[in-house]
Amino acid sequence: MTGVLEGFATIAVIVAVGWVLADRRILDESAQVNLSRLAFYVASPALLLTVMQRTPLSQVLSTNLVTSLISFVVVVGAYLAIARFRWAGGTLGSRLIGSLSAAYVNAGNLGIPIALYVLGDVAWVAPTLLMQLLIITPVAMALFDSDARGERPTLLRSARRMFSNPITLGAIAGLLIAVFDIHLPRVVAAPIELLGAMAVPSMLVAFGISLRRGPRPATGRGAAHVWTIVVLKTLLMPAVALGVGLALGLRREALFAVVVTAALPTAQNIFTYAVRYRREVGLARDVIFISTFASVPVILAVAALFHWLAGV
């Protein structure tokens, strides 16, 4: 339980720093954009390279990965079905932000500490992390790039965009380093790690700036859209993960890990993508903010339930 609160408290403090800096007019909207660009083009690729090269592939290629992928697809399908009738007419980029907000979990800067303190092992969150970095993110980046250029997505264009995006390149480079057991010289690895360390703080400070300089979360005509996605993220996704995990034979710790991971809030990097591609920035910001708070009681309830079942 302590790990859940510690993970959320760390994020809250850094977001608060961004809020205060914006409130004191030390940083403004231009700083928010520049921090997001820094995270997108430099820090996040470096972080993904560092994370992926240290991820033990033997532990992530498991039923947990399949469960995470199916849960993602089901929740995205539910969102798109609702959005088609309720919020028709959106662009591809808008639908992508909505879909990712509903199903892309904060498996990195929040999932890792929660996996360590709640699940007892960081390896439990690795399948979801791998699935998002190597499957979901490359596809999403290719579609974002096509949308930004006004192109109709095709298999060839998507593949070309996929392998020219810095986020995707960072993840793939890290995977290749891990697969071929390459040991980078310290003079190369140290700068990459240092750059990667900027990713999470940059995203969180930029997020804090947006909370202060933008409208209050979930207000106005878009409130229903925000709350719909929050419900899908914090309630439907862990429920789907529980059902899929049981169907695939997961039990005890493995099932607990899948459900807790699915209950994590929307990842902050969705806000970075929204800013970078200028699509639904307010929606991404509001969903991240509300789902972060809403996921706390959900994760605590899941942990209490599994703890009680283990003692029965």
Q: What is the pLDDT of residues 102-133, one digit of tens each?
A: 999 988 667 766 776 677 666 677 788 778 87
138-175 residues labelled b (16+ CB within 10 A) or e (exposed): bbbbbbbbbbbeeeeeeeebbeebbeebbbbbbbbbbb
Nearest one of 112, 163, 168 to 137, comparing CA atoms: 168
For residues 42 and 107, the answer to whether their CB atoms sit within 8 Å is no
Q: What is the pLDDT of residues 229-253, one digit of tens each?
A: 999 999 999 999 999 999 999 888 8
Separation in Å, CA 262 to CA 62, 131, 209: 16, 12, 27
Q: What span, in angstroms and rounded, lies between the C-alpha atoms of 23 and 25? A: 5
Q: Domains plus CATH for the chain?
A: 2-311 (1.20.1530.20)
Q: What is the pLDDT of residues 175-213, one digit of tens each?
A: 888 888 888 999 999 999 999 888 888 888 888 888 887
Highest mean pLDDT among 56-60, 110-114, 271-275: 271-275
Q: What span, in angstroms and rounded, lies between the C-alpha atoms of 283 and 220? A: 11
- pTM of the predicted model as reported, rounded to 2 decimal places: 0.79
pLDDT at 311: 54
